Amino acid sequence: MPSINEDVSIGNLGSLQTLPDSFTWKLTAADSILPPSSAAVKESIPVIDLSDPDVTNLLGNACKTWGAFQIANHGVSQSLLDDVESLSKTFFDMPSERKLEAASSNKGVSGYGEPRISLFFEKKMWSEGLTIADGSYRNQFLTIWPRDYTKYCGIIEEYKGEMEKLASRLLSCILGSLGVTVDDIEWAKKTEKSESKMGQSVIRLNHYPVCPEPERAMGLAAHTDSCLLTILHQSNMGGLQVFKEESGWVTVEPIPGVLVVNIGDLFHILSNGKFPSVVHRARVNRTKSRISIAYLWGGPAGEVEISPISKIVGPVGPCLYRPVTWSEYLRIKFEVFDKALDAIRVVNATN
């Protein structure tokens, strides 16, 4: 995404009639391990009813096979999903100058701007976003919506609460499919009662404007999430794709009221690689814009050491990943991006 000083304004992509060269993607070394978008196939990730008596096994199989799944009967009201989508649309419909008033700082996470993974790619991504990471968003909301500040803060707080409850429920079930519980995670046992056992969470509001040449643009480049898991609500316009080794790129079409869940790097490590973090990306559309709301959940304090759960590894192993502090892992990912898990993998795990 362009910086504030570039000719192409960060908030006006949808008004462009031609695709700028800086947004024109070609297959490069950065994505050579993945096939081009034409490899997308008519297949989809599982849809799992959380009221199903066999939900634990269904979730475990989906995590092992795909690293992603969709969930129905999840307990989050449609009205809340509509409210947070409406909030997002209200923000992204604002003039570029207004949105830039909420721009994220160089050091901060919260705020408006380009995808954080942009620095790993030569070409720019056809999207804009608003990250809500901590209480500082309240000041931004007061600037953006002085009249509706209380209303929109209330929506975000309710959404965060519902997402955390849902994420905790999913975590318990997924761990159950491996025969372990949250209390088997060493750093979760040491967390103060006043804090969330799984640590931090971030909400990212994403907007993918209409694009004059969607076949040559990328809304969000291929990546994995660093966190435990991500819960995604997407509007009625498709664009999300997940990568499966045997199938290539698989499009996840929106289903009303159904949420998408992606396994992240932290869960990949905890499960000793049994549940892989899913590579995913977002494509764009010529005639319809798309909004998605991502809830990225789970990331302990920086000094906390993470490693595969000992009960999953067993007494004789092998343990595939060396212990690493959370801050060290994030630093490694910042340096080598998609090679971060390889960087902490034990070379000769049997020893």
* Tens of pLDDT, residue by residue, the chain (351 residues): 333 334 677 789 999 999 999 999 984 433 433 344 444 446 889 999 999 999 999 999 999 999 999 999 999 999 999 999 999 999 999 999 999 988 877 666 889 999 999 999 999 999 999 999 877 788 889 989 999 999 999 999 999 999 999 999 999 999 999 999 999 998 776 655 545 556 789 999 999 999 999 999 999 999 999 999 999 999 999 999 999 998 899 999 999 999 999 999 999 999 999 999 999 999 999 999 999 999 999 888 888 999 999 999 987 779 999 999 999 999 999 999 999 999 999 976 554
Q: Which of 212, 205, 230 is nearest to 284 (CA)?
A: 212
Residue 94, judged by CB atoms within 10 A of its CB (0-12, 13-18, 19+), counts as middle
Collapsing DSSP to helix, strand or coil, 220 comes out as strand
Residue 241, judged by CB atoms within 10 A of its CB (0-12, 13-18, 19+), counts as buried
State the pTM of this model.
Answer: 0.91
Q: Which parts of the chain are beta strand (E)? A: 47-49, 68-72, 111-113, 128-132, 201-208, 220-223, 229-234, 240-244, 248-251, 259-263, 280-282, 290-297, 305-306, 324-325
Collapsing DSSP to helix, strand or coil, 186 comes out as helix
- pLDDT at site 348: 64
Task: Give me 142's structure tokens.
Answer: 């007061």
- pLDDT at site 302: 81
Task: Give me 8's structure tokens.
Answer: 């192409």
Report how far residue 342's alpha carbon sits from residue 334's, in angstroms, rounded to the nearest whole number: 14
How far apart are the two ends of the chain, measured CA to CA in Å? 45
- pLDDT at site 139: 86
Residue 290 is a catalytic residue: yes
Q: If one looks up domain 55-181+194-302 in CATH, what number appears?
A: 2.60.120.330
Residues 290, 322, 331, 345: which is the catalytic one?
A: 290
Q: Dihedral sign, CA of 13, 287, 31, 267?
A: positive
- pLDDT at site 40: 45
* CB contact set of 160 (below 8 Å; sequence gap of 6+): 201, 203, 295
In contact, 264 and 226? CB cutoff 8 Å: yes
- pLDDT at site 217: 95
